[in-house]
Chains A and B, each alone.
Chain A
Amino acid sequence: MFARGLKRKCVGHEEDVEGALAGLKTVSSYSLQRQSLLDMSLVKLQLCHMLVEPNLCRSVLIANTVRQIQEEMTQDGTWRAVAPQAAGRAPLDRLVSTEILCRAAWEQEGACPAPGLGDGHTQGPVSDLCPVTSAQAPRHPQSSVWEMDGPRENRGSFHKSLDQIFETLETKNPSCMEELFSDVDSPYYDLDTVLTGMMGGARPGPCEGLEGLAPATPGPSASCKSDLGELDHVVEILVET
């Protein structure tokens, strides 16, 4: 019996507290799926920049998926713009442009990055979505990670962010993704929990296939391992340059 005025904890929160193994509310499990898909896509995009010749078709498809998720999250109102790094920047109401996501792949023609990117519009989501890079180079988000052919100092910061990715991925820990995006403000659950916790949400379709990752531990680390192969390759290149 609850005293008058005392609010009950919301059921969802209680269940989460108990451990998200069973009974996740369908809405939150869907958003978990969506969030993990978003994270996975962003990692893919970042890693694809590190490859020697990123595949444009693949980059475009991943970027479109990310954009689709963002659109949906914006409609749901779950999209959060992180407090801007500097005062006075407008909160983000614009979706991250494809260019931000896939700069390196598409600017091989030599077009210079638009200087306008220094403005506030895109730094919000950039730091929201890609805390690794923003942590490393908050002042130059548009140049540090994505340009493979950037000048030396950018390579330095690129190197640093690579290091961080190496560390996190080398832990071979199911929560490596969590560490990667530890700055993200929005609620984020251990990927492992997410994967084991899903019993098939009421919304079929999106990430339903995450159930197939039910052997959760091997899942993310397997992808980490394959990413490691790519990272090895990249380290080779960077060391040589």
Chain B
Amino acid sequence: MRPTAVKSNRSLCLGHHHCWERVLGLLTRLGGASPLMHQPPPASCSSSSSSSSSSSCECARVGVRVSALAPAAAPCPAPRQLPYPRLPEPPSRGTSTLIPARLGPWCSPTGSPAPLSCETGCGEGSWILVCRLLVPTQVSLLSMEEDIDTRKINNSFLRDHSYATEADIISTVEFNHTGELLATGDKGGRVVIFQREQESKNQVHRRGEYNVYSTFQSHEPEFDYLKSLEIEEKINKIRWLPQQNAAYFLLSTNDKTVKLWKVSERDKRPEGYNLKDEEGRLRDPATITTLRVPVLRPMDLMVEATPRRVFANAHTYHINSISVNSDYETYMSADDLRINLWNFEITNQSFNIVDIKPANMEELTEVITAAEFHPHHCNTFVYSSSKGTIRLCDMRASALCDRHTKFFEEPEDPSNRSFFSEIISSISDVKFSHSGRYIMTRDYLTVKVWDLNMENRPIETYQVHDYLRSKLCSLYENDCIFDKFECVWNGSDSVIMTGSYNNFFRMFDRNTKRDVTLEASRENSKPRAILKPRKVCVGGKRRKDEISVDSLDFSKKILHTAWHPSENIIAVAATNNLYIFQDKVN
């Protein structure tokens, strides 16, 4: 039985007509009493095998079954001034059922749901906490077959948060193409994959929960003897491949090595061999008179992860990005000075497509900070630099794409000039929109949206935490100014999200131009409460519930977030905690 991609029919618009269920509070993932049994894959949905509808990629594409993101994949021919095409209203889920209070094994219900209320603040709807997941420290040491023991150990470990170590700090978060799986990588080199709870008729409320699906040690610490330097095992990035068969594939990378992992399920095992005795010893062939054909019998579901490819020794500098090409045959890895193109099947060779290393290292003033392939055009990619520029390259132009096709840079604002101007202009993340029409960049204080057709300035600029502008010197001193925040699009490219300090994260609606600041923290997520918008008070009187700039905790930073590809479910990583929030359709 093949697990199939679940097709989502949720609306991608956020709107005031969505009313929000109050949800209750959070416990650690395994605090509940329900057994942590892996759910068998869903019965194949009738409509789920639709192949990707529109692909404008010119290359021959391997047959891929991708859940259609109809709105996102639709070309956007409208001129820029018009609002982004409205998405069709979702087919109704019948009379929408209120999600009752109980949210699954890790949230204990306390009473009846509160009356629904529509969000009246910033237009991002209301967000409720679905679950808070602690990356388990010890699970990776146990085989996933031992569910009962795993649960016991996890229960005792995770209740006491002092067990969380620095190795548990989450360093990357990524949904797969259907949103069914959510992968996290941490500083200890581990990858933990969560799978979405499957909906069933009698447990509608469990939608949106994610359970641990698989966990494995992806990278180990290494020592480079030649340079006497340690190579960290921290996972810098995880990227999923679209699903092509029953197994899931993902790329994970640390500073130097990229690995392709295959995550597959096994729910049957062959039984009935008569060549071995009960203890597993081979029987004397003379005693065997018949040959029995083994029969496949169901067994407890086991998820195993195996490394299928290791792409090593191609990067002198630290890998900061990987990006799967839309042909699904190649991918690129980018370090500080070079970008390499790989074929998934070939591990001992890669093509260098960008090299900005100067002949004389004395002249080095700029490094590559992020890179990504265009979502539809397999010949196009962008990379960003520490000087705040983005270069778009076309691989058809030449083998070595040192000469860019397009160069995006915003002229500097002379009134804001300071010694820190260059540092805060350094781009920490670049992401194509799902439509392929826009790119979004994150620098220290802002998020910018660029139209690929306009190189001289972004079309939109959003201030993430401009109140930090006067604190740049102290942020430089404590190194916070070098923090690399990521940014993400929602499925319809209408909302963008990025993190900040004090466990705050921000969402900006591109259509309504409204924004909201939310907080991902245990203390502030009261049971059954909608996430309350937060506000930072800049000066003068501080109102109640506002927090002043000087009280911000700069050690609590949200660098990594992810947005479900088609639904309003977000994953926010705060140190070693993974928060999953969702909105709720009434």
Contact = CB atoms under 8 A, between A and B. Distances in A.
A111 interface: yes
Interface string A106-121: 1111110000000000
A83 interface: no
Contacts of B417: 205
Nearest to A111: B361
Nearest to A223: B477
Nearest to B424: A61
A63 B367 CA distance: 12
Interface string A35-72: 00100100010000000110111101101110011000
A82 interface: no
A109 B364 CA distance: 14
B228 A209 contact: no
Contacts of A110: 226
Contacts of B362: 97-99
B583 to A, nearest CB: 36
B229 A52 contact: yes
Nearest to B361: A106
B228 A148 contact: yes
Contacts of A223: 477-478
Contact of A208 (B336, B337, B473): B473
Max chain B C-beta neighbours (<10 A), residue from A37, A56, A106? A56
Nearest to B484: A57
Contacts of B475: 209
Given A60-B366, A65-B420, A53 B471 contact: no
Interface residues of A, number: 42
Contacts of A53: 229-232, 255, 318
A219 interface: yes
B317 A56 contact: yes
B365 A98 contact: yes
B316 interface: yes
Given A61-B423, A69-B419, A208-B418, 12 more contacts: A37-B473, A53-B318, A55-B482, A57-B367, A65-B419, A98-B363, A106-B364, A109-B316, A111-B361, A206-B418, A210-B473, A226-B479
B474 interface: yes
B440 interface: no
A207 B419 contact: yes
B474 A61 contact: no
Which 10 A-B pairs have CB atoms at the shortest separation, nearest pair first? A209-B473, A205-B418, A99-B362, A97-B362, A56-B336, A212-B474, A209-B472, A106-B361, A210-B473, A212-B471
Max chain A C-beta neighbours (<10 A), residue from B318, B362, B472, B473? B473
Max chain B C-beta neighbours (<10 A), residue from A61, A97, A110, A211? A61
18 contacts: A53-B232, A60-B365, A60-B386, A64-B365, A98-B361, A106-B364, A107-B361, A205-B417, A206-B419, A207-B473, A209-B471, A209-B472, A209-B476, A211-B470, A219-B474, A223-B477, A226-B479, A241-B228
Nearest to B481: A61
A213 interface: yes
B416 interface: yes
A205 B473 contact: no
A223 B478 CA distance: 7
Given A108-B227, A108-B229, A205 B386 contact: no
B441 interface: no
A99 B417 CA distance: 26
B410 interface: no
B369 interface: yes
A52 B222 CA distance: 12
B426 interface: yes
A149 interface: yes
B91 to A, nearest CB: 47
Contacts of B229: 52-53, 108, 148
B422 interface: yes
Interface of B: 226-232, 255, 316-318, 336-337, 361-367, 369, 386, 416-420, 422-423, 426, 470-479, 482
A57 B386 contact: yes
A61 B386 contact: yes
A60 B471 CA distance: 21
Nearest to B369: A57
A110 B473 CA distance: 35
A108 B226 CA distance: 9
A107 B316 CA distance: 11
Contacts of B369: 57
B538 to A, nearest CB: 13
B550 to A, nearest CB: 8
Contacts of B476: 37, 40, 209
Contacts of A60: 364-367, 386
B25 to A, nearest CB: 35
Contacts of A111: 361
Nearest to B422: A64
Interface string A206-241: 111111110000010011001000000000000001
A115 B426 CA distance: 33
A179 B70 CA distance: 65
A52 B255 CA distance: 13
A200 to B, nearest CB: 10
Contacts of A108: 227, 229, 316
Contacts of A222: 478
A29 B231 CA distance: 43
Contacts of B318: 53, 55-56
A83 B423 CA distance: 33
A110 B226 CA distance: 9
A34 B418 CA distance: 11
B473 A212 contact: yes
Given A40-B477, A57-B336, A212 B470 contact: yes
Contacts of B418: 205-208
Nearest to B482: A58
A207 B471 CA distance: 9
B422 A149 contact: no
A107 to B, nearest CB: 7
Contact of B477 (A56, A107, A205, A219): A219
Nearest to A58: B482
Contacts of A241: 228
A34 B419 CA distance: 9
B470 A209 contact: yes
A50 B479 CA distance: 16
A207 B481 CA distance: 13
Nearest to A107: B361
A226 B479 CA distance: 10
Given A53-B231, A98-B361, A213 B419 contact: no
A68 B422 contact: yes
